[in-house]
Amino acid sequence: MKRIVTIQDVSCVGKCSLTVALPIISAMGVETAIIPTAVLSTHTMFQGFTFRDLTSDINPIMEHWKKEGFTFDAIYTGYLGSFEQIDLMHSLFEQFGKRSLKIVDPCMADNGKLYPGFTPQFAKKMAGLCADADIIVPNLTEASFLLDIPYVGSGYDEAYIIDLLKKLAALGAREVVLKGIEFATDQKTLIGVKGKIGIASYNSETGKISWYFHRKMRQSFHGTGDIFASVMTGALMRGLSLEKSYSLAGEFVVESIKKTLAHVDHNNYGVDFESAFPMLIRRLSREALVSKYE
Ligand code: PXL
């Protein structure tokens, strides 16, 4: 069984970060070690949340793990609460990451804005962590903060996205998976495409660019970026290609939102990903079997 470690906060209520990464990656048949970066009463979209910083626990955890000789097939970083934690992630990569796939989700912004508590300086430092990664998974807002360029929320074309992918790869990661792309027109036929949202990826070693579009749900929910990166990580560990891994991740997010909207009394702070597990496990088992013989 593959073993990964994921480093993110624990938001006690409001399904995101570790409370989604741990159940999802485990259910995908991958041992999931964790380092909690902070404990919050809720994620930061609620008012009045508590925040206990766990930065000082990270080095002792790593020292113990070194003594035990633990190794990880992947290291996946998510929401980090301080500049110092970014430094610690560089150190984690150096000490444990020689043979691990390093995935950085530069979780810090969405819809053109940084999450509460983050600054452009933090984004600059996050760009430094992206340089050490094999794969980065920004959304369009995070991409603009990482590159320190104005956020363009709509009206862009394929050439703009390809330029973004290449600039992001120039930060240093081998592969870039860019989320939340919506074109006003189909880029091949120039006919309007309403209701589609997607992902573009770029491999800086092969120059390959890939696209994947799926249905855009009418409502957006917190935590779906973390669910996406978690499924992608789990699928990669189960032997799926990057393209198949992020397509499955996108489909699982859509399925989770559908399950959520099916409840008349649903809340908007997290999605019902638990009810979408049967689809994930079915698809994963099939794709993992296919990948074995490819
Ligand atoms: O889902 C991203 C995320 C993770 N962790 C915390 C957050 C957020 C988004 O708002 O507040 C604490």
* pLDDT for 274 beyond 90: yes
Is residue 162 exposed (0-12), middle (13-18) or buried (19+ Cβ within 10 Å)?
middle
Residue 219 DSSP label: S
pTM (predicted TM-score): 0.97
Distance from the CA of 44 to the center of ligand 1, in angstroms? Answer: 6
As given in the structure block, the two tokens for residue 220 are 């957006």
pLDDT value, residue 220: 86
Confidence of residue 223 (pLDDT cuts 50, 70, 90): very high
Mutate to test the pocket of ligand 1, among 115, 142, 271 (most ligand atoms within 8 A of CB): 115
Residue nearest to atom 12 of ligand 1 (CA): 43
Residue nearest to atom 6 of ligand 1 (CA): 43
Q: Is the CB of 9 under 6 A from ligand 1?
A: yes
pLDDT value, residue 185: 87
Q: Is the CB of 107 under 6 A from ligand 1?
A: yes
Distance from the CA of 186 to the center of ligand 1, in angstroms? Answer: 32
How many Å apart are CA 284 and CA 240, to the nearest integer?
9
* pLDDT for 188 beyond 90: no
Mutate to test the pocket of ligand 1, among 16, 42, 45 (most ligand atoms within 8 A of CB): 16
pLDDT value, residue 162: 98
- Closest atom of ligand 1 relative to the 226 alpha carbon: 1
* pLDDT for 76 beyond 90: yes
* pLDDT for 24 beyond 90: yes
> What is the per-residue DSSP string for 132-187?
T-SEE--BHHHHHHHHT-----SS--HHHHHHHHHHHHTTT-SEEEEEEE--SB-T
pLDDT value, residue 83: 96
Using an 8 Å Cβ cutoff, are 15 and 269 in contact? yes
Give me the mean pLDDT over the 16-33 stretch: 98
What's the Rg (C-alpha) of the chain?
A: 18
* pLDDT for 100 beyond 90: yes
Residue nearest to atom 2 of ligand 1 (CA): 223
In the chain, % of residues over pLDDT 70: 100
* pLDDT for 265 beyond 90: no
Place of tokens 């290291």: 75
Between 172 and 191, the higher pLDDT residue? 172
Give me the mean pLDDT over the 277-293 stretch: 92
As given in the structure block, the two tokens for residue 266 are 């649903």
Q: What is the pLDDT of residues 110-133, one digit of tens each?
A: 999 999 999 999 999 999 999 999
